[in-house]
Structure 1
Amino acid sequence: MTIKPKVTIHDIAEKLNVTASTVSRALNDNPRISDATKKAVLKIAKQLNYQPNNIAAALRNGKSHIIGIIVPTADRAFFSSVVRGIEEIANKINYKVIICQSYDNYEKEVQTVDALLNARVDGIIASIGKNTENFDHFKKAMEKGVPLVLFDRTTDALEVSQIVIDDYLGAYKAVEHLIQQGCTRIAHFTSPKKVSVFKERLRGYLDALSDYGIPYADELVIKSNLQLEDGRDSMEQLLKLDKLPDAVFSASDYGAMGAMQVLKENNFRIPQDVALAGFSNDPFTSFTDPPLTTVDQLSITMGKITAEIFFEQISTQEKRNMSQKIILKPELIIRKSTMRKPMPDTPAARQAEHVKLANQEPA
């Protein structure tokens, strides 16, 4: 198989009998080049299937108009929605994104940052992996003058802008709701990793118990990776206790879904025997039986604000060293998995009743 050499601006220049610099200016819409020349250059470039060398262009003018986005995994609804929000803002100002996955692997995350730096991206937006405890790779980007903005999973070890949800408040609201529904023995699924989001959700759980005078029970807090199978394993562990919990608050919707499967397989009623609440408002949560109460992380909004902060930061050199922390207020989405008794007449209660009626089968 013969590989054709890559078309360059010199090939276009030869076809039109003009200089390479004229072609370059025409492709960059330089006002010094006539419209007729621009049209001729674009026509030949299309015929030859010319692909611009973004790295070379970035070396010349210092801008690639490409940003790198690092997420733990792109197949999670939360992260894909955040990326969508970022792209909506980026595309409006003619920026493209490169989406990379770390798979919560530290070495992969380090390699990804190096690859993005070598690609001459104009900046990096990242959500830190669960297993990352050393941040030298991100510091390397900052030392090179590459703007860095973190979202969701962040760290105070880096003086960069951060956009997060109030994980503490979201967890507190969820546990408070379970208590108001009459639950007094509430289990919590959390992560053993030193990730801020899970630490804050655990803190919200603990404070809600304390504020309502409910004693803490160590056997009710179970650590795992919070995936579906982890939720199943954690619920099976709880079923072996002498005294069962009457509610479970999981720091992820997947963990709550695994618990729901095990409870139904063992003929427990949800929420009458065990109420369930998750965190993230993944799309499947409204289709479970019963629909799952969860905390909405406002993912698209987070993505848009992250992009706005990022582009504001790179707009001027002075702002590159500025850092700010934006904390979004989460929303508790109340569904049938926790509704053990009528709710008080509050906006949240009226929302819950609306959800309840919406989920009823038509007569």
Structure 2
Amino acid sequence: MVSLKRIAAELDVSYSLVSKVLNGRLGTTGVSAATRDAIQKKAKELNYVPNRLAVALKAGRRGVVGIFFHHMGIPGSDLSDRLLKGLVDGLEQGSSRMWLRYFTTDCEFLDACDSRLRNEVDGLIVAGVYHAGLTERLRELERLGVPVVTMFDNEPAPSADNPVTRVQVSYFSHGYVPTRHLLDLGCRRLACLDTDQSRTKGFLQAHKDAKVRVDRSLVIPSKKFLKEDGRKAAKALLAAGLPVDGIVCQSDAQANGVICELILKGVKVPEQVKVTGVDNSPLAEECIVPITSMTSEVRKAGLKSVELLFQRIEGVKVKSVLIEPKLVARNSTGETPARSLNRAELE
């Protein structure tokens, strides 16, 4: 990062003069227009970025962002690690410190989110597993002057009466894009593991847009995103004798289980049945047949959450953001080497 001292040294002027010019604090200090312009030009040339922490402290803020985090994803998905990495990288880029608290229940959040919070942080990011019961408390924090950004896993769409800024990854696209991909490859008997409503809606809409009829008997209820849930679904399909040429899973773990069960029963993947997953996690690459999978985009969501919170702290009006994931095609749908697609490219 370029420092004020470097700018001063390159122009042979004092550090204090450079600081006053770039921070708008000249006051009665005399400086020629030519020198002022030279300082500003040099700062732009060197891509000088003010230290956000220093600026915050001078503005009477604390230079601290609060993070409340509920662990997300199943073992092996590394979703939590990627989200936290995005949050940390964003805060480092902005030279801000992190005030981190983990929670798993509404009560744990409410206990930690007391009146002292306003005196310790400039703003708050609440991320991870969605908690509907926290909505009113987050609204109250906004009313008290604490900017809040949420990055919840599959949070419902923003409502007109809720001022909290959201960063979301499109779960609808998690179902839509892989379904369209399989339909474009010629599949016409697609099964879907129905664990998340938004992803299943994407599966159904992709069929509608492609003018392909959905066989509702191939939409298999699945309680969780685990490998065992994938195996159970595959066993149910095979036991019922339902012909399928593709299976849209809603996690990489489910896809892993489906593939293992199909191969165990002598079904070839992808020659006879193509399979897709979600999260583009290590599980996708380590499966016996590498899995075509949708990206989670949680690191990007973490970075965007920090960016929007900084803007809100500085009084800038922002809108909630919906991030579109991409499909990384691998061997489980006949792709090698891997390539990526997004929803816009398929439409």
Q: Same fold (TM over 0.5)?
A: yes
The yes-or-no answer on 1:185 pairing with 2:189 is yes
2:176 corresponds, among 172, 181, 196, to: 172
The yes-or-no answer on 1:355 pairing with 2:347 is no
Q: Distance in 1 between matches of 2:201 and 2:266?
A: 32
Q: Cα gap change, 1:273/1:95 in structure 2, threshold over 3 Å: closer, same or farther?
A: same
**Alpha-carbon contact 1:78-1:299 (below 8 Å) kept:** yes
| 1:349 alignment partner in structure 2 | none
Q: Distance in 1 between matches of 2:292 and 2:72?
A: 24
| 1:145-224 superposed matches below 5 A | 145-151=145-151, 152-155=153-156, 156-157=158-159, 158-191=162-195, 198-221=196-219, 222-224=221-223
The structure whose residues are more often strand, as a share, is 2
| 2:273 alignment partner in structure 1 | 274
| 1:1-363 superposed matches below 5 A | 63=62, 65-73=64-72, 76-92=77-93, 93-102=95-104, 108-117=105-114, 120=117, 121-122=120-121, 123-127=123-127, 129=129, 132=132, 135-151=135-151, 152-155=153-156, 156-157=158-159, 158-191=162-195, 198-221=196-219, 222-316=221-315, 319=316, 322-339=317-334, 352-355=335-338
Q: Deviations over 1:197-236 (max 9, x none)?
A: x433222211111222322222222232222222222222
User: CA offset at residue 118 of structure 1?
Assistant: 5.5
Q: Distance in 1 between matches of 2:201 and 2:222?
A: 14
TM-score with structure 2 setting the length: 0.69
Gaps of 5+ in 2: 1-56, 340-347
Q: Distance in 2 between matches of 1:153 and 1:125?
A: 16
SS of match in other structure, 1:203: helix
* Structure 1 residue identity aligned to 2:183: I
Higher mean C-alpha deviation, range 131-140 or range 82-91: 131-140
| 1:3 alignment partner in structure 2 | none
User: CA offset at residue 174 of structure 1?
Assistant: 0.8
Q: Deviations over 1:32-64 (max 9, x none)?
A: xxxxxxxxxxxxxxxxxxxxxxxxxx9xx7737
**Alpha-carbon contact 1:176-1:208 (below 8 Å) kept:** yes
Q: Distance in 1 between matches of 2:180 and 2:67?
A: 39
Q: Cα gap change, 1:125/1:273 in structure 2, threshold over 3 Å: closer, same or farther?
A: same
**Alpha-carbon contact 2:86-2:299 (below 8 Å) kept:** yes
**Alpha-carbon contact 1:293-1:337 (below 8 Å) kept:** yes
Identical positions, percent: 20
Gaps of 5+ in 1: 1-57, 103-107, 192-197, 340-351, 357-363
User: CA offset at residue 99 of structure 1?
Assistant: 4.5
Q: Distance in 1 between matches of 2:296 and 2:183?
A: 22
User: CA offset at residue 298 of structure 1?
Assistant: 2.4
User: CA offset at residue 133 of structure 1?
Assistant: 6.0
Q: Distance in 2 between matches of 1:294 and 1:311?
A: 32
Q: Distance in 2 between matches of 1:89 and 1:293?
A: 29
Higher mean C-alpha deviation, range 296-305 or range 142-151: 142-151
SS of match in other structure, 1:278: strand
User: CA offset at residue 241 of structure 1?
Assistant: 1.8
Task: Find runs of 4+ consecutive structure 1 residues off by over 6 angstroms.
Answer: none
Q: Distance in 2 between matches of 1:235 and 1:137?
A: 42
**Alpha-carbon contact 1:86-1:306 (below 8 Å) kept:** yes
Q: Cα gap change, 1:214/1:131 in structure 2, threshold over 3 Å: closer, same or farther?
A: farther
Q: Distance in 1 between matches of 2:232 and 2:165?
A: 37
TM-score with structure 1 setting the length: 0.66
* Structure 1 residue identity aligned to 2:139: K
**Alpha-carbon contact 2:308-2:318 (below 8 Å) kept:** no
Q: Distance in 2 between matches of 1:141 and 1:237?
A: 48
Q: Distance in 2 between matches of 1:131 and 1:268?
A: 41
Q: Deviations over 1:226-255 (max 9, x none)?
A: 222222222222222232322111122122
Q: Deviations over 1:72-106 (max 9, x none)?
A: 4376412321111111121341311414142xxxx
Q: Distance in 1 between matches of 2:228 and 2:137?
A: 32
Q: Cα gap change, 1:66/1:130 in structure 2, threshold over 3 Å: closer, same or farther?
A: closer
Q: Deviations over 1:290-316 (max 9, x none)?
A: 100001122322211111111211223
Q: Distance in 1 between matches of 2:130 and 2:192?
A: 19
RMSD: 2.7
Q: Deviations over 1:304-349 (max 9, x none)?
A: 1111111211223xx4xx451212232110001011xxxxxxxxxx
Q: Distance in 1 between matches of 2:103 and 2:268?
A: 39
Higher mean C-alpha deviation, range 173-182 or range 141-150: 141-150
Q: Distance in 2 between matches of 1:278 and 1:113?
A: 35
SS of match in other structure, 1:279: strand
